[in-house]
């Protein structure tokens, strides 16, 4: 097996621009650069693209906390910036100019992160209960991300587990550096990671997600099952679980006693610089924390007014607080089994599709499905959507935390299906993935404000799609919208204005029907992912504003299907790039985008 140093030495850097011949067009130069940059990024991804094998010679797992990873990444971005500066943007097609702008922004942002010293600080804060590799890697190997079809796949999977154990030890090194420099994560975040670690260590080795490969052994490899089971069990018992145990011991005895009580960036050294960067990275616009906080307060007030209207429609004579408590505590509002929940999602989706042609020209080929979260559901949030490989057959999956059935009210499920499935994330992501004409730079996206803004905007299309006929379903829609408005207030409150965790929890309980445990999970997510929660509402309000502007400017020529095509056909854009694209389309007369 390769050792850690040898493996990291295989990291690829962006190849030099090939000789394209005298007079190569700007389009050819950009296409070549984007292709090579995407390949270099994929080579530096910790696990590689889900559902695909790494090319021969690449390590199966790459430590994103290593110096080698940082050096290679920064070298790639600097070389890409140099090459991009040599391409005449004016000579590109409109779609190519969008790709140019998206790529330029991502490159400059990555360079800024490293040059400012913030990347080095982030590495010293290497704990994330939502998306840390200690939970992401188990999901990858137990879910559809890792392939287990051949003997080579099983050998690669075994090597991946060994390299992952080295990563876990490397994370401890980074955290020790943070202790020395004064960059320490908040106490509640560390406590949540510890709960996840303890939950993993409480599992018998053969029941951990790392052994899922044995249960997926294809018939053609049946004769090798015993050998691979012994090898994987040895790796899990001898390397992986001991690495989790070392995390537990270090976090408990050394790190936790040094953590600040304050939960946000405002309690962390250099937290103000980190939070400003994180806000702009997620929202893609230079909007100050105070402005975001004020916007949230205004949206909360507006939605409370709509809540009052639906409260009367429901015949509820008490106040909003008592209505919220009724939804939290009445068992009739919750599914009893995961089968019931999945069936409800399927039934809702079947009611959405008939009206979709009124709002969209196209539909993705790949289906949408809901499945249980692969690992550690009791210690994690509601779940997440993940697209399948772009083959038009593999489903996009909403991985739902079935341990939280009693905290996800049935009235919210129509809205959740619109957001995660149709016409939300599944529609948006899969349409782009299935488009063979788009460069990977546009397919990969990376704009939280666009992706989550689109998901929230998709929720707002519910009535146009015939949804929310039941006042309770409309209540659930408002409840979900209120959640996103509240996020603007509590995220900035926690990270900019020194709110403590209890204050943030109380504010959310006062304004939504979410269960206390669900609220606590949400607040802890905001603590772990500063700025991310602000992107939803800011993105959604941008989509809604652009639609109003287009309808007003184009009058009878406005076709909402064309507007949606313009918004969707080039992937997840920074909001400024999206706005420029829509304004160019309006100025050109709002004709149907080219479907070629």
pLDDT digits (tens, 9 = 90+) for 532-569: 999 999 999 999 999 999 999 999 999 999 999 999 99
Q: Tell whether the model's pLDDT for residue 23 goes beyond 80.
A: no
What does the buried/exposed string (b/e) look like for 495-518 if buried means 16 or more CB atoms within 10 Å of the residue's CB?
A: bbeebbbebbbebbbebbbbbeeb
Single pTM value for the model = 0.86
Q: How much is the average pLDDT of 126-138?
A: 92
pLDDT score of 20 more than 80 = no
Question: Who contacts 418 (Cβ-Cβ below 8 Å, separation ≥6)?
Answer: 352, 424, 458, 459, 461, 462, 465, 467
Q: Using CA atoms, how far apart are residues 397 and 394, in angstroms rounded to an integer? A: 9
The distance in angstroms from the start CA to the end CA of the chain is: 48
pLDDT at 103 over 60: yes
From CA 221, how far away is CA 406, in angstroms rounded? Answer: 41
3-class secondary-structure state, position 588: coil
CA distance 374 to 380: 11
Give the pairing type, strands 383-386 and 396-400. antiparallel
Is 22's pLDDT higher than 70? Answer: no
pLDDT (tens digit per residue) in 186-231: 999 999 999 999 999 999 999 999 999 999 999 999 899 999 999 9
Rounded alpha-carbon distances, angstroms, from residue 417 to 14, 156, 269, 404, 413:
40, 36, 40, 17, 6
The pLDDT of residue 10 is above 70? no
* Residue 417 confidence (pLDDT): 94
Q: What are the φ/ψ torsions at residue 371 (nearest 5 degrees)? A: -140, 160
- Give CA–CA dist 283/497, Å, rounded: 19
What distance in Å separates the CA atoms of residue 546 and residue 541, rounded to the nearest whole number?
9
Higher pLDDT, residue 446 or 451? 451
Q: Are 284 and 530 in contact (CB under 8 A)?
A: no
* 399 beta partners: 371, 384
Q: Taking residues 391-396, what's their average pLDDT?
A: 89
What is the arithmetic mean of pLDDT over 458-472?
97
- Per-residue burial over 345-362, b if 16 or more Cβ lie within 10 Å, else e, is beebbeebeeebeebbbb
Residue whose C-alpha is closest to residue 334's, from 518, 465, 484: 518
Give me the mean pLDDT over the 27-40 stretch.
92
The mean pLDDT of 340-367, rounded to a whole number, is 95
CA–CA distance from 596 to each of 178, 442, 582 (Å)?
Answer: 52, 17, 19
Sketch the domain layout of the chain as residue ranges.
4-267, 277-536
| 140-149, 295-304, 493-502, range with the lowest pLDDT | 140-149
111 pLDDT higher than 70: yes
Tell me the pLDDT band of 5, cut-offs 50, 70 and 90: very low
DSSP 22-83: TT--HHHHHHHHHHHHHHHHHHHSSS-STT-PPPTTS-S---TTSHHHHHHHHHHHHHHHHH
DSSP label at 385? Answer: E
Sign of the CA dihedral 134, 137, 139, 141? negative
Across 45-49, 242-246, 360-364, least confident range = 45-49
CA of 156: how far to CAs of 12, 152, 170, in Å?
A: 18, 6, 21
Are the CB atoms for 426 and 368 separated by under 8 Å? yes
Instruction: Count Cβ atoms within 10 A of the Cβ of residue 206 and give its class: 0-12 exposed, 13-18 middle, 19 or more buried.
Output: middle
Q: Tell me, what's the pLDDT at 94?
A: 86
Quote the pLDDT of residue 55.
85
Label residue 19 by pLDDT band (50, 70, 90).
Answer: low
Q: In this model, does residue 325 exceed pLDDT 80?
A: yes
Query: Could you tell me the pLDDT band of residue 376, with boundaries at 50, 70 and 90?
Result: low
pLDDT tens, residue by residue, 155-167: 999 999 999 999 9
Vertex 417: Cα angle to 533 and 493 (nearest 5): 15
Which of 35-44, 121-130, 371-380 shows the lowest per-residue confidence on average (mean pLDDT)?
371-380
- Specify burial of residue 338 (Cβ count, 10 A radius: 0-12, 13-18, 19+): middle
Bond preceding residue 459 cis, omega within 30 of 0: no
Q: Which residue has the tokens 């993993």?
A: 200
CA-based nearest residue to 444, from 145, 28, 19, 45: 45
The total of other beta-carbon atoms located within 10 Å of residue 257's CB is: 8
User: Residue 8 — pLDDT band, cuts 50, 70, 90?
Assistant: very low
Hey, what's the torsion of the CAs at 21, 22, 26, 31, to 10 degrees?
Answer: 0
| pLDDT for residue 323 is more than 60 | yes
pLDDT at 145 over 90: no
- Return mean pLDDT, the chain: 91
pLDDT category of residue 180 using cuts at 50, 70 and 90: very high
Give me the mean pLDDT over the 296-309 stretch.
98
Q: What is the pLDDT of residue 454?
A: 97
Distance of CA 476 to the CA centre of its chain: 23
Q: What angle do CA 541, 543, 548 make, to 5 degrees?
A: 90
Paired tokens of 79: 């070389």
User: Of 403 and 469, which is predicted with more confidence?
Assistant: 469
Q: Are 300 and 532 in contact (CB under 8 A)?
A: no
Predicted confidence (pLDDT) at residue 468 exceeds the cutoff of 60: yes
The residue among 218, 197, 217, 219 whose CA lies nearest residue 208 is 197
Q: Which residues pair with 110 in a beta bridge?
A: none
| Mean pLDDT confidence for 346-367 | 96
Question: Which of the four pLDDT bands, split at 50, 70 and 90, describes residue 594?
Answer: low
Check residue 504 and give its pLDDT: 97
Q: 3-class DSSP state for residue 264?
A: coil
CA distance 51 to 53: 7
Give CA–CA dist 470/480, Å, rounded.
16
- Count of C-beta atoms within a 10 Å radius of residue 326: 14
Q: Supply the pLDDT for residue 402.
A: 85
**Considering only 61-75, 111-125, 168-182, 399-413, which range has the smallest mean pLDDT?**
399-413
- % of the chain surpassing 90 pLDDT: 78
In degrees, rounded to 5, the angle at the alpha carbon of residue 118 between the alpha carbons of residues 257 and 448 is 100
- Other CB atoms within a 10 A radius of the CB of residue 489 amount to 25
Phi, psi of 481 (to 5 degrees): -65, -40
pLDDT of 443: 79
């Amino acid at each position: 097996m390769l050792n850690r140093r040898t493996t990291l030495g295989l990291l690829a850097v962006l190849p030099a621009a090939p000789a394209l011949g005298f007079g190569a067009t700007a389009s050819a130069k950009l296409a070549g650069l984007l292709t090579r940059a995407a390949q270099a990024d994929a080579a530096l991804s910790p696990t590689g693209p889900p559902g695909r094998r790494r090319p021969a010679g690449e390590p199966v797992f790459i430590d994103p906390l290593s110096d080698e990873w940082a050096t290679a990444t920064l070298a790639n971005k600097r070389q890409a910036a140099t090459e991009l500066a040599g391409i005449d943007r004016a000579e590109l097609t409109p779609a190519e100019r969008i790709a140019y702008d998206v790529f330029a922004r991502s490159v400059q942002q990555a360079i800024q992160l490293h040059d400012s010293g913030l990347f080095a600080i982030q590495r010293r804060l290497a704990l994330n209960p939502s998306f840390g590799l200690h939970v992401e890697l188990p999901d990858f190997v137990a879910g559809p991300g890792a392939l287990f079809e051949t003997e080579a796949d099983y050998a690669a999977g075994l090597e991946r587990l060994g390299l992952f154990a080295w990563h876990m030890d490397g994370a401890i090194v980074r955290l020790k550096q943070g202790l020395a420099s004064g960059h320490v994560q908040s106490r509640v975040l560390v406590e949540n990671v510890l709960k996840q670690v303890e939950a993993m260590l409480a599992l018998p080795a053969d029941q951990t997600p790392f052994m899922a490969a044995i249960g997926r052994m294809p018939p053609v490899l049946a004769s090798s099952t015993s050998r691979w089971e012994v090898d994987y069990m040895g790796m899990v018992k001898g390397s992986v679980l001991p690495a989790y145990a070392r995390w537990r011991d270090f976090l408990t005895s050394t790190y936790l006693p040094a953590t600040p009580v304050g939960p946000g960036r405002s309690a962390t050294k250099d937290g103000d610089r980190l939070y400003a960067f994180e806000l702009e990275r997620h929202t893609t616009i230079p909007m100050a924390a105070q402005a975001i906080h004020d916007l949230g307060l205004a949206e909360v007030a507006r939605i409370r007014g709509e809540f009052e209207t639906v409260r009367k429609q429901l015949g509820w004579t008490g106040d909003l607080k008592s209505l919220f408590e009724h939804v939290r505590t009445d068992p009739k509002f919750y599914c009893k089994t995961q089968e019931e929940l999945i069936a409800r999602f399927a039934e809702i989706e079947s009611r959405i599709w008939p009206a979709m042609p009124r709002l969209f020209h196209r539909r993705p080929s790949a289906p949408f499905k809901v499945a249980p979260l692969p690992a550690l559901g009791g210690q994690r949030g509601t779940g997440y959507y993940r697209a399948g490989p772009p083959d038009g057959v593999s489903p996009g999956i909403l991985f739902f935390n079935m341990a939280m059935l009693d905290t996800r009210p049935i009235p919210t499920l129509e809205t959740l299906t619109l957001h995660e499935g149709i016409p939300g994330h599944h529609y948006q992501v899969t349409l782009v993935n299935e488009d063979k004409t788009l460069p990977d730079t546009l397919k990969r996206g990376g704009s939280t404000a666009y992706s989550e803004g689109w998901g929230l905007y998709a929720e707002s299309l519910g009535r146009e799609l015939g949804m929310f006929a039941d006042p309770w379903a409309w209540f659930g829609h408002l409840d979900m919208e209120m959640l996103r408005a509240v996020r603007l207030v509590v995220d900035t409150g926690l990270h900019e204005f020194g709110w403590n965790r209890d204050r943030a929890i109380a504010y959310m309980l006062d304004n939504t029907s979410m269960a206390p445990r669900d609220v606590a999970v949400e607040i802890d997510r905001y603590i772990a992912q500063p700025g991310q929660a602000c992107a939803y509402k800011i993105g959604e309000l941008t989509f809604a504003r652009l639609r109003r502007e287009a309808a007003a400017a184009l009058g009878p020529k406005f076709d909402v299907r064309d507007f949606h095509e313009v918004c969707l056909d080039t992937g997840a854009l920074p909001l400024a790039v999206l706005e420029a694209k829509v304004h160019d389309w309006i100025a050109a007369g709002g004709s149907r985008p080219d479907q070629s």
